[in-house]
Chain A
Amino acid sequence: MTEVLNIAVLGTIWGALYSLIAVGFTLIFGVAGIVNLAHGAFYMLGAYLSYAFMTVLRLPVVPAALLAVSCTAVVGMLIDRFGIRPMRERHVYVLIITLAFALFFQELMYALFGPHGKAVGSFIQGDMAIGGVYVSYQKVLCFGASASLVTLLWLFIKKTKTGKSISAVAQNRQAAIYVGIQPERVYLLTMGISAALAAVAGVFIAPVLEAVPTMWVFPLFKAFAVVIIGGLGSVEGAIIAGMLLGYSETCVSILISANYPDMVYLVAIILVLLFRPRGLMGKRAH
């Protein structure tokens, strides 16, 4: 019984986090056709910048986190403007330049903060029990932030004018130009949002996992997996697949062995690509 509860509680928390990381990744793919391998680097920047603002500038937690998220969004937009825009049509190039940026940020963090993990201050201390399962407040907060941000993003895309222009470009770039939308601006904005969401995930999870220079790899892989399972470019798919991955990994980790949860997403990607390449909710492959 405790196992079921454990899976339910931990699976929900991780699932929500995966969804948060993956929606940004899928958004920029759906809108601009970019597979952004620097997405994990944004998550890492969120974690490290909040650490830096807290220790170097001695800011309190909340302003440090906000500042970290906005700085990361700016970095994302700069990469889009100066790295991706000149060669947007060449997908191979975009894959590689974003990979190069990710490696660059890894080395930058390595040079600035060293190879050892940095414990980032949490928002609140303490644990709580949910049906007999102990989880730290930080994780609960992480879940809350993920769920509310994903919902906000959803509302933003569906309800506001700017949000609708994003989905317009995603649906048909040419038609969007005809009704007066400037795709390049939309790409820039989407990249900013996507980077900010990844940074939020980094800020919230850093106190749980600590910040190390290679931390960008894991969220990138998870985001990639979630997005492929859910369907590249589909926000709904990313949310569903993120939760699914969270539950199935916790299941494997608790019921089989802590060695294997990382296999889940790899096998899932291969199976989905072999048998249903467009994913759960995806449109036909481009």
Chain B
Amino acid sequence: MEKLSDHYTQRISLKSLGLLGIFSVAVMLVPLVFRDPYYLELLFLCHYYVILACSWDLLSGFTGNVNFGHAFFVGGAGFAGALMNLHLGWAPWLTLPIGGAVAALCGLLVGSFTLKLKGPYFAAVTFCFATLLYKWIMIRYDIFGGEEGLSGLDWLAETTTGNYYISGVIMILVVVFLYILSKSPFGLILRSIGENETASEGSGINTTFYKVTAFMISAGIAGVAGAMYGHAQMHVGPEMAHDSLSALIIIMVVVGGMGSIIGPIIGAYLLTLVNESLRFMGEFRLLIYSSAVVVVILFAPKGILDIVQRGWRRLAGQER
């Protein structure tokens, strides 16, 4: 039985921090074992999705306001970074933070208008912003390259290993930052909004302020990831703003476990690797993949992290 105090604790548990440490070391050591660029490319994708999933989790997982348009920030910052790189010649070390800042600003603007809306209304409006951006990219092909997107961006790093390390470091920084944030008073307030927003408001918390701030941070991180992805692929395309990306992020978080920061890491790695390892199934790959997702959500609605934790507790209980 999970104790309520566990859920609301502000203490950063040594166990979780230890796991994060092991995870970081493992991420850093992987290229020494797997030198095949194919694996590094694949793990780069995992890093990208972990960043997106964890950043989505900060607002939506904690407060229960489902953001259906995370791709708005990914694609927006991706294209903003690409345009800055192509037209102004700015290097990735500039476009990544600027892309993030642009996305955070958009998050602030969109959030302050829309976060008074609740539940499905918020989901709908975020979805609309993302789809509007997607349509705009398609219509103004003179600026954004339409279906083909923009190519010829500068390398993030010259080698796949370099890409892997840069994305890995960004991912670890993001994850640690979000984990500590989630255990701070700020995270506690977000959780309390998720449990009962009216009650939180009643205890004198300006819930809109906290939601907008969380949205802004979430958007900014997604923006950095979008710009990073663009440089690593040397290409940005409209699919970065497409709603299927938003849906994929949501599914990753739900499969892993919402509102935990650790869960989305599991979900993002698992789904990216499973999706890739099913490639030998050919045309049935996506069918198997999507039915697996349905099964996981049906039988483990709280995500895989919850199952792992319960299993761990049972093991620990038996050992005692």
Size range of the interface on A? 35 or more
Asked if B298 and A82 sit within 8 Å, CB to CB, the answer is yes
Asked if A92 and B66 sit within 8 Å, CB to CB, the answer is yes
Interface string of A215-240 (1 = CB under 8 A from B): 00100010010001000100000000
Q: How far in angstroms is the closest Cβ of chain B from A234?
A: 14
A99 CB–B CB distance under 8 Å: yes
Asked if A96 and B120 sit within 8 Å, CB to CB, the answer is no
Asked if A100 and B297 sit within 8 Å, CB to CB, the answer is yes
Select one of B123, B243, B283, B291 contacting A95, CB under 8 A.
B123
Given the known interface contacts A96-B251, A99-B247, A266-B131, the answer about A107 and B113 at a Cβ–Cβ threshold of 8 Å is no
Size range of the interface on B? 35 or more
Residues of B with C-beta under 8 A to A92? 60, 64, 66, 258
B129 CB–A CB distance under 8 Å: yes
Q: Which chain A residue shows the least CB distance to B113?
A: A274
B290 CB–A CB distance under 8 Å: yes
Query: Complex formed: what's the CA distance from A106 to B243 in Å?
Result: 15
A87 CB–B CB distance under 8 Å: yes
Select one of A82, A111, A263, A273 contacting B121, CB under 8 A.
A273
A163 CB–B CB distance under 8 Å: no
Select one of B135, B251, B284 contacting A100, CB under 8 A.
B251
B139 CB–A CB distance under 8 Å: yes
Residues of A with C-beta under 8 A to B294? 83, 97, 100-101, 104
Central interface residue in A29, A259, A269, by most chain B CB within 10 Å = A269
Instruction: Give residues 247-271 of A contacting B (CB, 8 Å).
Output: 259-260, 262-263, 266-267, 269-270
Asked if A96 and B129 sit within 8 Å, CB to CB, the answer is no
Interface string of A75-100 (1 = CB under 8 A from B): 00000001100110011110111011
Residues of B with C-beta under 8 A to A87? 301
Asked if B121 and A228 sit within 8 Å, CB to CB, the answer is yes
Instruction: Give residues 266-310 of B contacting A (CB, 8 Å).
Output: 283-284, 286-287, 289-291, 293-294, 297-298, 301
Residues of A with C-beta under 8 A to B291? 104, 107
Asked if A93 and B290 sit within 8 Å, CB to CB, the answer is no
Asked if B121 and A107 sit within 8 Å, CB to CB, the answer is no
Instruction: Give residues 122-144 of B contacting A (CB, 8 Å).
Output: 123-125, 127-129, 131-132, 135, 139
Q: Which chain B residue shows the least CB distance to A270?
A: B128
Residues of A with C-beta under 8 A to B290? 100, 103-104, 106-107
Residues of B with C-beta under 8 A to A83? 294, 298
A134 CB–B CB distance under 8 Å: no
B114 CB–A CB distance under 8 Å: yes
A277 CB–B CB distance under 8 Å: yes
Asked if B251 and A273 sit within 8 Å, CB to CB, the answer is no
Interface string of A175-195 (1 = CB under 8 A from B): 000000000000000000000
Interface string of B89-106 (1 = CB under 8 A from A): 000000000000000000
Asked if A269 and B124 sit within 8 Å, CB to CB, the answer is yes
B residues with a Cβ closer than 8 A to A are 60, 64, 66, 113-114, 117-121, 123-125, 127-129, 131-132, 135, 139, 243, 247, 250-251, 254, 258, 283-284, 286-287, 289-291, 293-294, 297-298, 301
Kindly list the 3 A-B residue pairs having the minimum CB-CB distance in the complex, ordered from nearest.
Answer: A107-B287, A35-B120, A104-B290
